Amino acid sequence: MAKALHVKRYLVEPGSKVRLDRLDPDDTSAFDGDKKDGEKAIDSLLKKLDPLQELLYAEHKHRVLLVLQGMDSSGKDGTIRRVFEGVNPEGVRVAHFGRPSEVELDHDYLWRVHKQVPGKGEIVIFNRSHYESVLVERVHKLVPEKVWNNRYRQIVDFERMLFEEGTTILKFFLNIDKKEQAKRFQDRLKDPTKHWKFSYLDYDERSYWNDYVRAYEDGLGRTSTEFAPWYIVPSNHPWFRDLVVSEVTVEALESLRMSYPKLDPGKAALADGRASS
């Protein structure tokens, strides 16, 4: 019998020093490493997530932002498919941040991000995010160190503003190792249905693995806050990755203590009239 999952163990404490080499991407010990029980637990959580998301949409009061970051092939797309497979698409949206367009480059780096944040009643999932500006641009030296170094503070301020305006922010770093990434790249080459996901650029980026690790360690440590926490999710095993993300998301939605809106007096009178006719 698998034990309860305690997701707090994956939380990055604000101000802490992150060392990814001390965190095992293969770890499933928080759920006894039992995939069969883990899949059942995910199904149980998703049965809770569906009505919670509908309630969020109906109440039209709270905003929820999920940020997914990770190395190439860490499972961002797979997480979105599995965790949000049963929700109402009317209230859930995915925003993907690729290479900035010329118009976006004419503005500050948060300009394109702010346009995608959730409105009331909405869950928005960032598949990559504003953190690319302290990752890719840092690793490839696209901007000076002074510029990307200032962005940690700016990102914290940006997320604080979103939080104070009523947004619940959950951030997940999907942690895989270099060996698992190579395996997933090979799987893409072997599977014709995944050829479209293959890119030589992904292979080129592997040569910068250690640089990305250092950039992630700095970013995770400097931008995990009480109002916008990071979770470092062991992700070599997709089922466990999805279990952690599901658990954190459901707990966050339950903590909002939402309720369905009551009928206004006019509608209530109409309902009473129908009931008595």
* Residue of higher predicted confidence among 107 and 190: 107
Residue 83 lies in a domain: yes
Q: What is the pLDDT of residue 271?
A: 65
Q: What is the pLDDT of residue 191?
A: 81
pLDDT digits (tens, 9 = 90+) for 21-49: 999 999 998 887 789 999 999 999 999 99
Residue 230 lies in a domain: yes
**What is the span of the domain harbouring residue 36?**
9-269
Q: What is the pLDDT of residue 2?
A: 41
Angle, alpha carbons 123-125-131 (nearest 5°): 135
Residue 275 lies in a domain: no
Q: Is the dihedral of CA 14, 20, 22, 28 positive or negative?
A: positive
Helix (H/G/I), strand (E/B), else coil: 47: helix
Residues 201-222, mean pLDDT to the nearest whole number: 93
Residue 54 lies in a domain: yes
In this predicted structure, the answer to whether residue 198 has a pLDDT above a threshold of 70 is: no
Helix (H/G/I), strand (E/B), else coil: 114: helix
Residue 2 lies in a domain: no
pLDDT digits (tens, 9 = 90+) for 131-186: 999 999 999 999 999 999 999 999 999 999 999 999 999 999 999 999 999 999 99
Which residues lie below 8 Å from residue 136, measured CB to CB, with a gap of 6+?
Answer: 142
Residue 33 lies in a domain: yes
C-alpha closest to that of 152 among 74, 99, 230? 230
Residue 209 lies in a domain: yes
Residues 105-130, mean pLDDT to the nearest whole number: 97
Q: Lowest mean pLDDT: which of 7-16, 60-69, 194-203, 268-277?
A: 268-277
Instruction: Please give the share of the chain, as a percent, with pLDDT higher than 90.
Output: 81
pLDDT digits (tens, 9 = 90+) for 63-74: 999 999 999 999
User: Rounded CA gap, 245 and 231, in Å?
Assistant: 9
Residues 220-227, mean pLDDT to the nearest whole number: 98
C-alpha closest to that of 7 among 40, 48, 45? 45
Distance of CA 98 to the CA centre of its chain: 16
Total number of domains in the chain: 1
Residue 4 lies in a domain: no
User: Rounded CA gap, 254 and 262, in Å?
Assistant: 19
C-alpha closest to that of 230 among 131, 133, 157? 131
Return the CATH number at 67: 3.40.50.300
Q: What is the pLDDT of residue 266?
A: 65
